[in-house]
Amino acid sequence: MNMRIVLFALALLSLSACSWFKEKVEEPEKLMKHANNVELKTRWTKTVGDGLGELYHLVKPAITADTVYANDVYGRIYAFDRDTGKQKWQKNLKVEMSSGVGLGNGVIYIGTLEGDVIALSQLDGDEIWRVDIASEILAPPQTNGKVVIVQTNEGKLYGLNASDGSFIWRYEAKLPLLTLRGTATPQVFGNNLITGFANGKIAAFSAEDGVLFWERRVAYPQGITEVERVVDVDGSPIISDQTVYSTSYNGYLTAIAPNGRIRWTQKVSSHQSPLVVDGRVFVVAADGVLHSYDAETGLPLWNNNLLLYRKLSAPQNLSGFVVVAD
């Protein structure tokens, strides 16, 4: 597959550091004029609620074969037909949502600013259960159909019973004083789950009982100030061809075998999930440089610095193109 780059000037809110410290503001690279090699056609658009709120929660829609589920931060959640955009149903939960939508086994899962996990029916949006874990949830809850995995902004990882929300297990990572505002979305596959934490580590667990299989450090705190020592793993790990690919802020792009053995690393700071396709790994660095690496060896293939400091989204694969947005 011939991978090419497409640049779209979309107004997306990027993950940012905690607002109570000041950071050096770099001037975004000016966009260059280029030939429009791709023609995009809008199939449908919908307005979803009233936006992202004062805390700029990064809520994202979830998509199935026939439905798009989306929410705002003020408690509204919608289901749209994927092909036509026709609204199937709408609910107002009257809570401040801080996560996007998680899906699994016919159920929608949402996290709130106050620490509630809410389960809704995908069919009609009716509430199934609600449980309070008393900690802000920024990543969409994930499930294997039996256990719901919830990761909080405080470094806690919960396993909840998918049928009623009751607690099964809990794990707590020790976090540094200062972290980015965001958490990785746990990746659940069968009875296994992998996720990253704000202490610069990625870890694998049993989804059933929370047993820790292994953990590996992929970023090392360096520098004098707390800002310099931020090492969050906020991008979700990506699993491809029996390898886990993980990014970290002020750390490394790391390829890890299923048993936890590190296969290779490349120094690159990123808080976005990588993209793995056609034997290559694509990473958007924190400074806006787009990198490409060989997935097997980790050798650099190329980089593109035409979008420096434009707060790019994570790269996506769209019909043979690498797509990023600012």
* DSSP bridge partners of 117: 111, 131
SS3 content of the chain, % helix, strand, coil (to 5): 0, 40, 60
b/e 154-163 (16+ beta carbons within 10 angstroms → b): bbbbbbbebe
Using the predicted structure, report yes or no on whether residue 3 has a pLDDT greater than 90: no
321 shares a domain with 188: yes
**Residue 38 domain-assigned?**
no
Q: What is the pLDDT of residues 83-126, one digit of tens each?
A: 999 999 999 999 999 998 999 999 999 999 999 999 999 999 99
55 shares a domain with 26: no
User: In which band, very low, low, confident or very high, does the pLDDT at 14 lie, cut at 50, 70 and 90?
Assistant: very low
Boundary-marking domain end, from 134, 152, 172: 172
**Residue 42 domain-assigned?**
no
**pLDDT number for residue 60:** 85
Cα 295 to Cα 281: distance, rounded to the nearest angstrom: 5
Joined together, the tokens standing for residue 142 give 């994930």
Cα–Cα–Cα angle for 53, 56, 61, rounded to 5 degrees: 90
**pLDDT number for residue 223:** 80
144 shares a domain with 57: yes
**Residue 253 domain-assigned?**
yes
**Residue 41 domain-assigned?**
no
138 shares a domain with 114: yes
Rounded mean pLDDT of the chain?
88
324 shares a domain with 192: yes
Containing domain of residue 149, as a range?
Answer: 50-172
**Residue 37 domain-assigned?**
no
Task: Provide the CATH number for the domain around residue 325.
Answer: 2.130.10.10
User: In which band, very low, low, confident or very high, does the pLDDT at 5 lie, cut at 50, 70 and 90?
Assistant: very low
Boundary-marking domain end, from 138, 172, 206: 172
**Which stretch of 56-60, 113-117, 178-182 has the lowest confidence by average pLDDT?**
56-60
267 shares a domain with 133: no
**Which stretch of 24-28, 110-114, 291-295 has the lowest confidence by average pLDDT?**
24-28
245 shares a domain with 158: no
**Residue 93 domain-assigned?**
yes
188 shares a domain with 325: yes
254 shares a domain with 205: yes
**Residue 230 domain-assigned?**
yes
Joined together, the tokens standing for residue 133 give 């874990």
**Residue 190 domain-assigned?**
yes
18 shares a domain with 70: no
Q: Report the amino acid identity of residue 124.
A: D
Q: Are 180 and 219 in contact (CB under 8 A)?
A: no
**pLDDT number for residue 56:** 58
Joined together, the tokens standing for residue 85 give 């955009």
Which residues, at least 6 apart from 36, have a Cβ–Cβ distance to it below 8 Å?
A: none
208 shares a domain with 255: yes
Query: How large is the average pLDDT for residues 204-216?
Result: 97
Boundary-marking domain end, from 148, 172, 196: 172
For residue 186, give the nearest of 166, 210, 163 by alpha carbon. Answer: 210
Task: Provide the CATH number for the domain around residue 55.
Answer: 2.40.128.630
55 shares a domain with 6: no
Q: What is the pLDDT of residues 118-170, one digit of tens each?
A: 999 999 999 999 999 989 999 999 999 999 999 998 899 999 999 999 999 99
Cα 184 to Cα 248: distance, rounded to the nearest angstrom: 10
User: In which band, very low, low, confident or very high, does the pLDDT at 4 lie, cut at 50, 70 and 90?
Assistant: very low
Cα 49 to Cα 242: distance, rounded to the nearest angstrom: 40
* DSSP bridge partners of 5: 322
For residue 116, give the nearest of 82, 72, 160 by alpha carbon. Answer: 160
Number of domains in the chain: 2
